[in-house]
Structure 1
Amino acid sequence: MIRWINRPWKQVIGYWLLSKNDNSSLTHEIMEETVVKLFEVNLIVKALICDQGPRNQGMFKKHKMTPTKPFFKVPGYDHKIYFIYDPPHLLKSIRNNLFKKHFKYDGGYARWSVLEKIFSLSKESPLHLIPKITERHLYNISNGDKMSVSLAAQVFSKSMYTAHLVYTTIDASNFPEDDTTGKMIWDLDRLFDSLNSRLERPILESLEKLNYAISKDSKHHEFLRNMIDKLDKSSFVQNKDSDKARPPCLNGFKITINSVLQLSEELRVEYDIPILKTRQLNQDPLENLFATIRQQHGCSVNPSPKQFESGLRHIFITQLSKLSNATNCEEDQNKIFAKLSKIESATILIPVKEFLNNKLSVPSIMNNFENDMKRTKKSEFTESNAVYYICGYLAKKFIKSHNTCRQCVDYLILPRENKSFEDYKLFTLLKDCADANGLKYSSKILFDSVLEWEKTYQSVIKNFFHLKKISCYLNPVLIDRTPKFKLCTEKATNAFINSFIKIRCFWEARFRRRAAKSADTNTKQKVKKSKMKKFTNKNTICQKVKKVIPSNEAKNIQPSEK
């Protein structure tokens, strides 16, 4: 498959069916022949993107490329072809290595156990600080989940980093002294944004996010060069005293970073392309093509050659298949360049929003927090931070879905320039420093009301959760508990409270399903272990009997004696 760098187009140009016994030289010959044919039709090939399979790594070695010189040329054409490993595969490889080993990073060690600790601390509150993270992300990860890019990206996300920063500040004794898990999460999140950017320019210049295109003066250059130095000094170890190991994904990131930086420079100088959206430099379209072909034949994991050919032909003619939600990658926003039937595709527009600059930095927030933490109990801290964050979410949803007057808007949220520090605002303030996209700061009266609603909800939900139209029962109870909360009309007040009930019940049901699923999984594992234990005991008894009775004597024993 080929994909345009500066256009939202993709095109399947051929396929080859190879067996495991075919050597890698055949793959290399096919690839070089394909590149030559593309040059012959006046298409300029600038990058070769693949995963880190043995054959692909063999191609890198065959052309004598190095991390600092990650390109090659085909005979007869003076064009550099940059070698890029698929960034989502590299991120999953880092995650998979972290399961069983410590990651020596930036002067300390990043550990998977620290991520599990953050998750367990978040679960202590009915409202989690990291609600998207589940047992599926951290425990008993199946082979299918190991292939999912979204699960790995959510583990190494700004929300996880913020939660880590909050919990280490509350009680650093819960974490190792040489812990650099937070630094690793922050750097990997920004690295993945840099290599997976889709925006043309940053939403807000003051933010540290790098999910926009690489240009001549963008912040990517300094950050990516620093990441090369950090990855060069990093390694995986079983424990502090064991030997260091450098899996291919670490060098793969170095090669990919150098290729992206050199490619962006060449495109800018020689082809007058000022920006490079790195989202175009991965193999998501190919992964999604395979996923669509598999689902056309009963979700066959390993389709036969005939099924593959039939599925590919169907996609090429009609492009009517819809990508499954369970696929490993996000849906790529590319259109097939040439197909036999012309079906119009929806145009995707990315709105560019204007936000005010942040006035609080992370160091000033942490200094204020250390001064005010003494008056807040640690057991109440997580819940109050989660409630305040949800208050802003509630206000944002309500304002968006209702024709809210200016009076109600001022009643529910604070202007961004008037935000002040309170200990229950720590999580929201830290999230705001990383990403201001859509965050709202709720008023004090809204925070106090939602805090009271949450306490009331926890006390009565067991009696009402099984009923239909639960809002009819909960609404009057919540109104009685917070008589001071009043919007411009009684109808608006009831609508806001019903919005809280709807969202809260949704999360309650979601958390209960997770708990039930986790308990069911544990029960199945216990039953499986019990069956395996019985099976092992039977084999052990049979082996003992064979040892006690010699084979010659066993033949002469009657069946009844046996």
Structure 2
Amino acid sequence: MDFWTESIINIGDWEFQRRTKSGLLKKMPPSQKGWLTTLGAIKGVWDYLYANGFASLRTRALNQDPLENFFGAIRSGCGGADNPTIVQFVGSMKTQIINGLSTNKLGGNCEEDESSLLTNLQAFLNEGAHNVTNGDNVNNSTMATKVLISAAEAIATDVTNGNRNILSVAYVGGFIMKHLLPSIQNCNDCKQIICGNEEDPHNLFISFKEFSTATSHLNYPSGLLVTAVGIGVTLIENFLNEASCYKKIAQRVLSN
């Protein structure tokens, strides 16, 4: 406490000069004001804690590294965008919360804060999703039914929440949508089923791929189409786990 009191006096006596057209101007810069505010706040925090029975204070933990790491995770979820839009920020924040603020940190000026969320909704998202095992016979048609029952609900939830794992599936869905549109130009019901918009959480990655913010040039699939593509991918992956050693894989996939 004595050191902090002495530091506040010393820092408060610092003088900074800035050259202006009218001459040298003495002014306290924001960094100096912020430092004085921080030292005063730490003294206030310790006075409060000491009065309530605390014997020590880990001042190293009094920093904003967790906040900066959080924004870093959001930028990572936005494809490394330094200035995400409001829609991108909100979408990435929801995804990061659901994924427990997981990010592949490539570098930065903050240490790992070793903090974790009280809850990340993973238990809710994974509820009802079970590992599906195929029968001994890879041609058993019940395999598809088992996968659909166990995976459809989980995939639909991932699509609704814009889970990071579903973003690439939505991108594939946009490619499929591009090839479907020419054949359904006269069917509004068909368009309504397969067409989504860029505000949908699952289309976050596609919106990042746009080369212009003025107009949209890419295809944004609906949640139903992305769910269907996700189920199809799941079916194929489960089938290949058991049947990768067989001949005529494509025919076997189609027959199941």
TM more than 0.5: no
Q: TM-score, normalised by structure 2?
A: 0.42
Q: TM-score, normalised by structure 1?
A: 0.20
